[in-house]
Chains A and B, each alone.
Chain A
Amino acid sequence: MAQTTYKKSITFGDSNVNCPITMGSYNTTVYNSDEDAKIMGWLSPLEPDNRHHSVRTNRCEGVGNWLLETREFQEWRGGEGGADEAVLFCSGDPGVGKTHLT
């Protein structure tokens, strides 16, 4: 009878996980062990960093900066106010420029 050997087939690589975005202490991914990477995968299969990177690559620098200067954005961003001022909603077509211009 043939013998079957079971081998660990999944490895999570080393702990130097390449994160495309590096930020401050709360925003830098620190993986101390393989378990950390497993925990992240267990929490969600989505990879928002990669998605942000690809949207970012296609964005024209400088376009739309007016948004960041609006009173609405500034108040939302700096708002120490409570739950009443917590939500900012930008309504529009996600591809309004792209669809018509490409």
Chain B
Amino acid sequence: MSLTARNASCLVIDRLCDQAREGDFAVAWLYCDYNIRQEQAAINMMGAIVTQLIRGGIPNEIREAFQEAERAGARRPLLEDLMRMLRIAITKLPQAFICVDALDECLPGDLPRLLESLRDIIREFPRTRVFLTGRPHVGQAVRKYFDRAVEIPISPNKDDIRNYVVMRLDRDEMPEAMDNSLRDDIVRIILDKMSNMYVGVPPLLAVDTY
């Protein structure tokens, strides 16, 4: 599979997790998914970030907040409760890395809340590092909250596409039906077609959905 924004997230998360084994930091991540966007309300997303940052041990303040909520009839935490718990979690860490994949797949109403919450955290804990991915059109929202955000455009390069095609051919269920020359032709023709496809691609889907 060639490099996509989603794979980029996966790659970055893996790299950070590998380094976190030795490093003094914790890694939290979220993959936004259009299909479950109702469950992915900003509140659940912040909660998921908290759960990952307290893997090493639940701080007493969070345990007490839970016990109090239980006594109050299993009351669910609000966004501000979760923000408070996120601050507690980050205070106890040397550094936190937070990765959020596919921002454009959040509910449009949740995206500003999520970005605003992350911005507040960075202001308060400037060592925090945030990695975001999304279709190009969410860049506008990202820059609104983080005007110094560094942007890397992701598009598959020829090597990525070649690796992917070769991997798929290697996994073919009837390899005997394909000799080397057919195999080479398949790789060559797909690469030709792909490069035509990406030449002159307009600024991708520059449609603002908000």
Contact = CB atoms under 8 A, between A and B. Distances in A.
Interface in A14-71: 21, 23-30, 35-36, 38-40, 42-46, 48, 51-52, 55-56, 58-60, 62-68, 70
Contacts of B26: 26-27
A59 B153 CA distance: 19
B1 A88 contact: no
Interface-centre pick from B26, B33, B149, B150 (highest chain A CB count, 10 A): B150
A59 B1 contact: yes
Interface string B99-115: 00110010000000000
A30 B56 contact: yes
Contact of B5 (A28, A70, A86, A94): A94
Interface residues of A, number: 61
A64 B24 CA distance: 26
Contacts of A43: 47-48, 50-51, 62, 77, 82, 85
A88 B149 contact: yes
A90 interface: yes
B165 A39 contact: no
Contact of B136 (A44, A63, A66, A91): A91
A2 interface: no
A36 B47 CA distance: 14
Contacts of B85: 43
B112 to A, nearest CB: 15
Given A23-B20, A46-B48, A48-B48, A90 B5 contact: yes
Contacts of B11: 59, 64-65, 67-68
Given A26-B25, A63-B163, A89 B132 contact: yes
B134 A89 contact: yes
A75 B129 CA distance: 11
B178 interface: no
A90 B90 CA distance: 24
B155 A92 contact: yes
B122 A63 contact: no
A73 B128 CA distance: 15
B4 A93 contact: yes
Nearest to B6: A94
Contact of A44 (B47, B139, B152, B153): B47
A92 B4 contact: yes
B76 interface: yes
17 contacts: A24-B20, A24-B21, A26-B26, A27-B26, A27-B56, A35-B63, A35-B66, A42-B76, A43-B47, A52-B29, A64-B3, A82-B127, A92-B4, A94-B6, A96-B4, A97-B164, A101-B2
Given A27-B17, A90-B154, A92-B204, 5 more contacts: A26-B20, A26-B24, A46-B45, A48-B52, A62-B163
Report, nearest first, the 4 A-B pairs whose CB atoms are least far apart. Answer: A44-B47, A92-B154, A64-B3, A97-B2
